[in-house]
Amino acid sequence: MEGSPIPVLTVPTAPYEDQRPAGGGGLRRPTGLFEGQRNYLPNFIQSVLSSIDLRDRQGCTMVVGSDGRYFSRTATEIVVQMAAANGIGRLIIGQNGILSTPAVSCIIRKIKAAGGIILTASHCPGGPGGEFGVKFNVANGGPAPDVVSDKIYQISKTIEEYAICPDLRIDLSRLGRQEFDLENKFKPFRVEIVDPVDIYLNLLRTIFDFNAIKSLLTGPSQLKIRIDAMHGVMGPYVRKVLCDELGAPANSAINCVPLEDFGGQHPDPNLTYATTLLEAMKGGEYGFGAAFDADGDRYMILGQNGFFVSPSDSLAIIAANLSCIPYFRQMGVRGFGRSMPTSTALDRVAKSMKVPVYETPAGWRFFSNLMDSGRCSLCGEESFGTGSDHLREKDGLWAVLVWLSIIAARKQSVEEIVRDHWAKFGRHYYCRFDYEALEPKTTYYIMRDLEALVTDKSFIGQQFAVGSHVYSVAKTDSFEYVDPVDGTVTKKQGLRIIFSDASRLIFRLSSSSGVRATIRLYAESYERDPSGHDQEPQAVLSPLIAIALKISQIHERTGRRGPTVIT
């Protein structure tokens, strides 16, 4: 600390009407909006900070991290300056501003911080023409619950000023403590720059048998792996954990340098965007492949020759093999959670294990209450996210280490493990079709009319004949969730059509970017007979999709010929 105290300024501002967090305390918008609209970012940061009760905020510790995308450094500086001015006592920040979303959750819980701010737009593209986002995690390490998001939004609608220390400058590259004297503050403001991996790695060591994984990756029957960080935040984690700690060769890891524009690619770990990994795996040289999204909470698993493990299958297989993980052998398994659109493959495992399954709306925040109350040990979503009660976020690297642990214990390939699972529990054919960048008004009317159709009593019992298939409607609803912990009711979370053979169609409206809207269509069909386990999912599901398109008229009403993305 040198020189005179740094002044704290109060800057007049005017509210924006579009700063409603999409869920989990997150605001995701085009980067140009954050960068170009006057006070757009400070307004939202002030709203987040003001949502913390003053008594809890004064002198508290918070965690700040980013996925390294364009505008992150500028935004981190603004967050630091505003945190100081708003009475935060200490910030923990990853070196160079980098922290994965799971690592932020880990650090919040480890040091009992008041919360954390994560600068990420998840799997969306970066760069000046991409997207940027701000996410608020609360004291349990998880995404903000809806009551907090609502409070942030209400504050954002009436904001008149924000507090900032514009002269405060930090060195994000230098590990260690930096302290600053501020005007009218009795205690110095402290920033601690930490290694982005170390605290999280220490947690992983308590969960897994690292020796068993290391033997798998380095022993005489070495499993060759290929891991794609997609130029997001996970590069340093992959190198330090899988290569340095667990012995995987350095060339196992690709695209490990975080880039502001993710190399011009979508940092989205699916078959549409992780094509570099998919092509490498199709060559047959590698027995295990994985990719991560920009902030490290989503993942994709591939086996030799590009064998794809669907996220819903991955969740169910992990559940069935938790005994391979020391953490679960010690802690036990209390229950499972899945988002409503996720396939019911997990339910069959839960039934065999005699543990409950909690079906929640989409959004990780709904799992936090279940885990905090001791009801849920493992949870996941069809959108490539899985996690356990070690954190309150989905955790891509954790899931990869679970898979490597299962392979080490069972001494089988990825494909063998999946096929054994299907033979025991049956196969759930599953696909998601995304109709992206639609006019919000159009999607509103499509969903309104569809809800009126499928929730009418006369729709129950209707039969749809497609080719040789006849589907009879057994149940429909607009999904509503009652939290078993606090009784909170969350309505209108998607339209479900369940047929008499347990096949499902689901329609759900998503608007995470806040500018355009997305309709997601999910189809699921169950096949018990092993002779039917080698079919292409889209071929199996095509009759269901035909029904969905007929009743929704989505192509006619949007002018689209098909979905934007199929996963």
Residue 489 lies in a domain: yes
Q: Are residues 180 and 317 in the same domain?
A: no
Q: What is the DSSP letter of 446?
A: H
Query: What's at 535, amino acid-wise?
Result: Q
Q: Are residues 421 and 313 in the same domain?
A: yes
pLDDT for res 261: 97
Contact of 122 with 69, CB cutoff 8 Å: no
* Helix or strand holding residue 218 (H, E): helix 210-218
Pairing between β-strand 299-303 and β-strand 427-438 as defined by DSSP bridges: unpaired
Q: Are residues 259 and 328 in the same domain?
A: yes
Domain boundary among 167, 195, 223: 195
State the maximum Cα–Cα separation within the chain, in Å, rounded to a whole number. 82
Which residue from 511, 506, 370, 526 is spatially nearest to 450, judged by alpha carbons? Answer: 506
CA distance 89 to 187: 8
Q: What is the DSSP letter of 324?
A: G
Residue 15 lies in a domain: yes
Phi-psi region of 85 (alpha: psi -120 to 50; beta: other; left: phi over 0): alpha
pLDDT for res 384: 94
DSSP 310-352: -HHHHHHHHHHTGGGSHHHHHH----EEEETTS-THHHHHHHH
Treating both helix axes as pointing N-terminal to C-terminal, what angle do 440-454 and 537-552 enclose, rounded to 10 degrees?
90
CA distance 66 to 72: 6
Q: Are residues 540 and 405 in the same domain?
A: no
Residue 4 lies in a domain: no
243: which 2 tokens?
């290569």
Q: Which residues are identified as catalytic?
A: 122
Q: Are residues 332 and 309 in the same domain?
A: yes
Q: Which residues contact 215 (CB under 8 A, 6 or more apart)?
A: 408
185: which 2 tokens?
């503050």
The Cα-based distances of 346 to 352, 472, 524 in angstroms read 10, 24, 13
pLDDT for res 2: 55
Which residue from 129, 141, 38 is spatially nearest to 387, judged by alpha carbons? Answer: 141
Length, in residues, of the chain:
567
Handedness of CA 362, 364, 369, 375 (dihedral sign): positive
Contact of 78 with 61, CB cutoff 8 Å: no
**Number of structural domains the chain divides into:** 3
pLDDT for res 219: 80
In the three-class reduction of DSSP (H, G, I as helix; E, B as strand; rest coil), residue 119 is classed as: strand
Q: Are residues 180 and 329 in the same domain?
A: no
Q: Are residues 395 and 507 in the same domain?
A: no
Residue 174 lies in a domain: yes
CATH number for position 459: 3.30.310.50
Mean pLDDT in consecutive groups of 10 residues from the start of the chain, 567 residues: 84 96 87 96 98 94 98 98 97 98 98 98 94 97 95 97 97 97 88 98 98 95 97 98 98 97 95 95 97 98 98 98 98 97 98 98 94 97 96 98 98 98 98 92 96 96 94 97 94 96 95 75 97 95 96 95 81
Q: Are residues 295 and 398 in the same domain?
A: yes
Residue 3 lies in a domain: no
Q: E strands of 147-213, at which residues?
A: 161-164, 176-180, 189-194
CA distance 380 to 297: 11
Residue 2 lies in a domain: no
CA distance 381 to 374: 19
pTM for the model stands at 0.96
Residue 501: count other Cβ atoms within 10 Å of its Cβ.
13
CA distance 328 to 464: 44
pLDDT for res 521: 97
Give the CA count within 13 Å in the CB-facing half-sphere of 518. Answer: 18
Q: Are residues 166 and 241 in the same domain?
A: no
CATH number for position 90: 3.40.120.10
CA distance 80 to 213: 39
CA distance 288 to 338: 25
423: which 2 tokens?
């033979």
pLDDT for res 515: 63
Which residue from 153, 70, 159 is spatially nearest to 119, judged by alpha carbons? Answer: 70
Domain boundary among 195, 218, 253: 195
CA distance 124 to 133: 10
Q: E strands of 140-236, at which residues?
A: 161-164, 176-180, 189-194, 225-228
Q: Are residues 99 and 237 in the same domain?
A: no
Q: Which residues contact 458 (CB under 8 A, 6 or more apart)?
A: none
CA distance 452 to 93: 49
Q: Are residues 55 and 160 in the same domain?
A: yes
Contact of 496 with 362, CB cutoff 8 Å: no
For 250-254, the CB contacts below 8 A with 24+ separation are 252/224, 252/225, 252/226, 252/227, 253/227, 253/229, 254/226, 254/227, 254/228, 254/229, 254/280
510: which 2 tokens?
């998503």
112: which 2 tokens?
């009992």
The Cα-based distances of 169 to 3, 165, 311, 339 in angstroms read 13, 9, 43, 42
Domain boundary among 166, 195, 224: 195
Q: Are residues 404 and 378 in the same domain?
A: yes
CA-angle at 286, arms to 429 and 252, nearest 5°: 115
Treating both helix axes as pointing N-terminal to C-terminal, what angle do 101-111 and 396-410 enclose, rounded to 10 degrees?
100
- Which residues span the domain enclosing 57? 9-195
